A and B are shown apart, each in its own frame.
Chain A
Amino acid sequence: MADEGPPPGADEATPPPPITELPPRLPPRWASGGRTFSKFDSMSLAARVVRLCVVIVLLVGAVVVATVAVAGLGPPSEEDLRREAGLLDKRQLLIGVKDDQPGMALRENGVYRGFDVEIAYLVAADLGFAPADVRFLTIESEDRARRQALDVKTNKIVTVDLVVATFSITKARVDDPDVMFSAPYLRTEQSVLTRKTTNKYEALSDLAGEKVCTLNTTTSAQNLRTAGVEPVGKNKISECVRGLESGAYAAVSTDAAILAGFVYRNPGKFTIHDIGAEGSELYGINVGRNKALQTLVNLALYRSYTEPTDRRWETAYDDCLRVEQPAAMPQQVAVAQQPEVDRPRVRIWPWETEP
């Protein structure tokens, strides 16, 4: 298209050749065929091509953006996850906890109390379950990966939704397809419990040759074996402590957060030893194979971690574990701060992202 038409006003000087198909009301320059719209278009072809490119970029962009907007690409919302996790229309949330660990989870007169129980309530509340809609079931160490708990009321084995039972996050467990951990909610370390003594144990290898009791299928048992101690395995830590009391074992070794409860509950009976074991035990919540549930549990922990006014974790620590600290000195019961939680992939309100 020739844009370099005659300058304005030139049409009147030289009358254009008549083009009969076009109606007479058209502006003269159109009829002449040498149509320009303004002087600025005399650089026209280049300008027109640039405009064309801009139009094409905008149109392609509009298609992409419309696709993104209509498809609703992006992380799911909390509501979507609840539906996906199967929490809607669920009457009760079943949670597996230990029942014999004072401070962490102890069942007395049919009521569960302790740090794990408080964390379970915290998570359940964010999943939309009131305390009355949460049901605790006792779970043993070996059943935590498979989430199988015994319902004493009906004497049946049931699969629980969540396992909050001093379950340490390890590589081997993470690799198990049946186990999916939430973010950690407590950081503690392995320790050793003996009857009241002035002797000091400073390493797990100091226990070599002694009868040491620990829980089956736990990280503590593996650590003891690595240190050259062959432990006696029990399914319940309370059996170990009873054996220690009666003299059947010389020591009990497991996590400090568990042992401190026994020292606190039985003043003057036991001594807890701050051994130089490396690495810490990070407790996580097992959600089974439910990916959406994992994200929701992480969201609950993330909120508790980031929300300054949310004191539930801190209150639980103060009530259950901090009180045990004087009795457990010099062993630290557990780190008095919630382990850091990464932001889960959930669509949340913008103001919730600020730590």
Chain B
Amino acid sequence: MTDRPQPILLGRRRRGRDQQWVLTALPAFPLLLLVLRLWYLSRQDLQTMLLLVQNVSPLGLIGSLLITLVWAPPVFILVGRALGGLLLVSSIDAGRSWLARTAGRTPGWVVLSAFAVAAVTWQLRFLPTLVLLLVVIFALDVRLRYEDYPQLVMIACIAVPVTLSLLGLLLVGPAAFDALRVAEPETAFLLLAPVLALPFLTGPVPAPTAMLVTHWVAMAGLVIGPILVAAIFVQAPVLPEVAVELKRDAAGLPSASDDVVVGETDVTVVRGQVITVDDRSTTLLETGGKVAFVPNTAVISQVLCPDPLDPPYSAVAVHGWQVERAMLSWLAPSRSVREPTDPRCLGRPVTP
């Protein structure tokens, strides 16, 4: 058969032709995120936000955006592609949906790069889902393109998924059992559900329901997804967190009025984020949202306060790999956990 089926572009609607402007609008979302982040940081105070805009480096912001959200684009690409594929094989009317059209146009290299990024940045507990998505995309593609080769379809849609599913059971089965034993149903679900569901997702669903479980789910995801992404990003740090030890008198602060504290009281600690440093003063955004201009002569010492190392929620590990670690964090060198916190970062001076 020379005329390969091309079911993806159904041709009936080609509204996508004059939508080049979407590409121009694409950077708007990250830009919006960055502005939102600064607004959040300034605690909704416009003056503080203006000061931040003046001094915050765009590179720092984008760096923070990248590190915090690098896992997000693969979610949209892979889930969208898999749902689109499912819609294409399920319904003859698939071409009406933008989801199916976009899925049909997404080139293979985009899917593969998204997979590669996800493989190193997603936590281990999401990797079964990632494999599920890739296999489903592959199998549905084979079903669409090579429907006249039953052996090929059989291999791609039954043999490969069943083999991978069995392999997956061997790999994550014990860990899922552990998760159930320590009462973490969500971890067990994340590990086990994709593995068990894999052989069932490589074919069509009933045509009348196809739009509902693919197109409309993707629509809901498009509405809720960016909100979730924004909610996660506004909490990412964009300025370095420091603690500065100050001489009270030189900083123009009133002397301590707390009678209970004995010992040296003309040293105090200000915790906050450094906005800028010039030759006269250091500008700090204190934890309460107040901007402090600290004269450099009053500074006794300062220390960078590292992010508190956050213990994982889950106690489960798959063959020694903790389920909340991504491959990237596993490969890259990290700080030692046992480092004690500097007292200055807790608001207590070290200068006697």
* A111 located at the interface, meaning its Cβ lies under 8 Å from any Cβ of chain B in the complex: no
Q: Scan residues 137-192 of chain A and give those whose CB is less than 8 A from a CB of chain B.
A: 151, 153-154, 156, 158
B312 touches A51 (CB 8 A): no
What is the total number of residues of chain A having a CB less than 8 Å from a CB of chain B? 65
Which residues, 24 to 73 on A, are CB-close (under 8 Å) to B? Answer: 25-27, 30, 35, 37-41, 44-45, 47-52, 54-59, 61, 64-66, 68-70, 72
Q: Which of B89, B147, B197, B343 contacts A58 (CB 8 A)?
A: B197
Instruction: Closest B residue to A92 by CB, please name it.
Output: B261
In angstroms, Cα B186 to Cα A91, docked, is 41
Question: Contact at B204–A48, with CB atoms within 8 Å?
Answer: yes
Contact of B347 among A26, A35, A38, A91 (CB under 8 A): A91
Once bound together, how far apart are the Cα atoms of A270 and B194, in whole Å?
A: 74
**How far in angstroms is the closest Cβ of chain A from B46?**
27
State in angstroms the CA–CA spacing of A147 and B338 once bound together.
33
* Residues A350 and B147 in contact in the complex (CB < 8 Å), given A25-B3, A68-B186, A133-B348: no
How far is the CB of B100 from the nearest CB of chain A, in Å? 14
In the complex, which of the residues A128, A129, A353 has the most CB atoms of chain B within 10 Å of its own CB atom? A128
Residues of B within 8 A of A25 (CB): 3, 6, 11
Q: By the criterion CB–CB under 8 Å, are A94 and B308 in contact?
A: no
A130: interface (CB < 8 Å):
yes
The contact of A79 among B5, B269, B310, B343, by CB within 8 Å, is B310
A54: contacting residue among B89, B201, B258, B313, CB under 8 A: B201
The reply to whether B337 and A349 form a contact with Cβ atoms under 8 Å apart is yes
> A8, A56, A69, A153: which contacts B148 (Cβ < 8 A)?
A8
A108 at the interface (CB under 8 A from B): no
Is B119 interfacial (CB-CB < 8 Å)?
A: no
A324–B193 CA distance with the chains assembled, in angstroms: 61
Q: Quick one: CB contact mask for B7-20 with A, threshold 8 Å, 1 for yes?
A: 10011100000000
Report which of B186, B315, B343, B352 forms a contact with A65, defined as CB distance below 8 A. Answer: B186
* Distance between Cα atoms of A69 and B184 in the complex (Å): 12
Number of A-B contacts (CB under 8 A): 161
* A residues less than 8 Å from B107 (CB atoms): none
Evaluate contact between B206 and A87: CB separation under 8 angstroms. no
* Chain B residues, CB < 8 A from A151: 259-260
List the B residue with the shortest CB-CB distance to A156: B259
A88 and B347 contact, CB distance less than 8 A = yes
Is the pair A1, B208 in contact by a Cβ cutoff of 8 Å? Answer: yes
Known A-B contacts A1-B206, A52-B205, A90-B347; the reply to A57 vs B197 at CB < 8 A is: yes
- Give 10 new A-B contacts, CB below 8 A, not counting A25-B6, A41-B203, A347-B310: A22-B12, A26-B5, A51-B205, A57-B197, A66-B228, A94-B260, A133-B348, A135-B260, A135-B261, A156-B259
**Chain B contacts to A: CB under 8 angstroms:** 3, 5-7, 10-12, 86, 89-90, 92, 143-144, 147-148, 150, 153-154, 157-158, 186, 189-190, 193-194, 197, 200-201, 203-209, 213, 217, 228, 231-232, 258-263, 269, 271, 308, 310-313, 315, 317, 322, 337, 341, 343, 346-348, 352
21 contacts between A and B (CB under 8 A): A1-B206, A8-B150, A23-B12, A27-B7, A30-B7, A37-B147, A38-B153, A45-B206, A48-B204, A59-B213, A74-B313, A77-B308, A89-B269, A91-B261, A92-B262, A128-B346, A133-B348, A151-B260, A156-B260, A347-B311, A349-B311
